[in-house]
Amino acid sequence: MIDRRHQPRGSCAMKIIGLSGSLRRSSFNTALLRAAAGLMPDGAELGVETIHGIPLYDGDVEAAEGIPPAVAALKDKVAAADALLLVTPEYNNSMPGPFKNAIDWMSRPPADAARVFAGRKVALIGASPGGFGTILSQNAWLPVLRTLGCELWTGGRLMVSRAGGVFDASGALTDAGVEKQLRDYLAGFVAFAGR
């Protein structure tokens, strides 16, 4: 078992919001996001947020009722943060529909999209039970993030494959090699986001 003791940190200067693209309670990607929150370098903090409660995008609903409260709250958290970490599963060789739906809602109305996404430092990671990690899902996000005007960190990649052997039954990260990769990835992203 990996040692989970953490040294106390001073006040955190950098705030990153992390989103898992899975709604499943025992999701490998949500477990990876929680692990990332515990492995942040000094001077940075990862706030774990959720896409639960975000309805399917419907322009008629937006026109009649405005932005749903869950979407508005998430937009405000991302806009107030220094960076955004997307933890993406891979469904049918691409991004999950619920995750894309959440980002689509967050880009509404168009006049407010820049506040949330333009120039936002973003990184992508993911975990999969398969042998290729989430390479196709991560690639599918590239045109979306480019369209939104995000600054994607490309100094590293993290695609956890065969995730069933990396986490225990409670979702704790148990693979020391993956922990080191995640810690190094986060250090690189934090350095990028701080520029």
Beta bridge partners of 74: none
Higher pLDDT, residue 1 or 78: 78
- Structure tokens that stand for 174 in this block: 């148990």
5, part of any domain: no
6, part of any domain: no
Residue 107: partners with Cβ closer than 8 Å, 6 or more residues away:
113, 116, 117, 148
Say how far residue 27 (Cα) sits from the centre of its chain: 13
- Structure tokens that stand for 46 in this block: 């990862």
pLDDT surpasses 70 at 20: yes
User: What's the pLDDT band for 4 if we cut at 50, 70, 90?
Assistant: very low
pLDDT tens-digit series, residues 106-143: 999 999 999 999 999 999 999 999 999 999 999 999 99
145, part of any domain: yes
7, part of any domain: no
What is residue 75's predicted lDDT score, i.e. its pLDDT?
Answer: 98
User: What's the pLDDT band for 9 if we cut at 50, 70, 90?
Assistant: very low
**Biggest alpha carbon distance in the chain?**
52
148, part of any domain: yes
3, part of any domain: no
Dihedral of CA atoms 106, 24, 179, 166 in degrees, nearest 10, equals: -150
Work out the angle at residue 174's Cα, subtended by the Cα atoms of residues 16 and 25, and round it to the nearest 5 degrees. 60
Question: Coil, helix or strand for 180?
Answer: helix
68, part of any domain: yes
Q: Where are the alpha helices (DSSP H) in 5-83?
A: 28-37, 59-65, 69-80
Q: Is the pTM for the entire model greater than 0.85?
A: yes
Instruction: Report the C-alpha gap between 42 and 44 in whole angstroms.
Output: 6
pLDDT tens-digit series, residues 130-182: 999 999 999 999 999 999 999 999 999 999 999 999 999 999 999 999 999 99
How many domains are there within the chain? 1
Residue 91 per-residue DSSP state:
B
What percentage of the chain carries pLDDT values higher than 70?
94
pLDDT surpasses 60 at 6: no
What is residue 13's predicted lDDT score, i.e. its pLDDT?
Answer: 86
What percentage of the chain carries pLDDT values higher than 90?
92
2, part of any domain: no
Kindly report the backbone phi and psi dihedral angles of residue 160, in degrees, each rounded to the nearest multiple of 5, phi listed first: -80, 115
Note down the domain range covering 183. 14-193
Work out the angle at residue 173's Cα, subtended by the Cα atoms of residues 192 and 50, and round it to the nearest 5 degrees. 65
> What CATH number did the domain enclosing 130 receive?
3.40.50.360
